[in-house]
Amino acid sequence: MALNKARLDSFIAQHCQISRKKVRLILAKSRVKVDGVVAHDIDKVIDTFSHISLDNQVIQANSAYYIMLNKPVGVVSATRDTQHKTVLDLLAYPFKNELHIVGRLDLNTSGLVLMTNDSRWSERLTLPEQKVTKRYLVTVKEKLNPDYITAFAQGMYFAFEDLTTKPAKLTILSDYQAEVELIEGRYHQIKRMFGRFRNAVTALHRCSIGNLELDSQLAQGDSRYLTSDEVKTIDK
């Protein structure tokens, strides 16, 4: 859901089909509340999720939804697809068609996917300047060595986009498994970075976004609501 903003007097005038002059009188008489607080300012800015009441009758009460999903391999990060099951197909929430995806995973990548109807929150997590870290567990075909750590930390030049990736942190966990942390999400970035070593990625799993870890109790294909604390602190 787009986070539409408007002046309070304009919203009430349009919603109630009355003039702004009448709205000013209503506000002066303390008849309007925004998020439970009496509002008097005609130029107060409200948005899609502001709770607004007039004479104790609710005139706007949209809910923001924040969902965590453990995406299995073989499911696409899309709202519709003619060939594959989508992440929305895995949800049973009545509001699921209002949701959009926060940071997609490709068909063969599993793990943490977030969905919401709050565009302000999703933009905060996905804009490059926010530098929100994503952490992945990577399994590869050939043995790893310390050269990978250096190369990932330096960034790699991608000729197709004519850019150098931002530094990424690679931690070797075993001969064939590593943890990668990065703050961007170029097209198949992790697979392409390992491809520089001619080392195929055989499994890729997103473990976390910002401070939010994938719930270990969440089976593949299952989802749950984020807590209010998780919503507030994910990028802190």
SS (H, E, C) the chain: CCCCEEEHHHHHHHHHCCCHHHHHHHHHCCCEEECCEECCCCCCEEECCCCEEECCEEEECCCCCEEEEEECCCCECCCCCCCCCECHHHCCCCCHHHCEEECCCCCCEEEEEEEECCHHHHHHHHCHHHCCCEEEEEEECCCCCHHHHHHHHHCCEECCCCEECCCCEEEEEECCEEEEEECCCCCCHHHHHHHCCCCCEEEEEEEEECCEECCCCCCCCCEEECCHHHHHHCCC
Would you call 229 a catalytic residue per the annotation?
Answer: no
Pairwise CA distance, residues 21 & 18, whole Å: 8
Which position among 35, 41, 55, 106 bears the catalytic label? 106
Tokens 């594959």, residue located:
84
Length of the chain measured in residues? 236
Spatial contact of 153 and 170, defined as CB atoms under 8 Å apart: yes
Give the position of tokens 């060939």: 83
Which residues carry out catalysis? 106
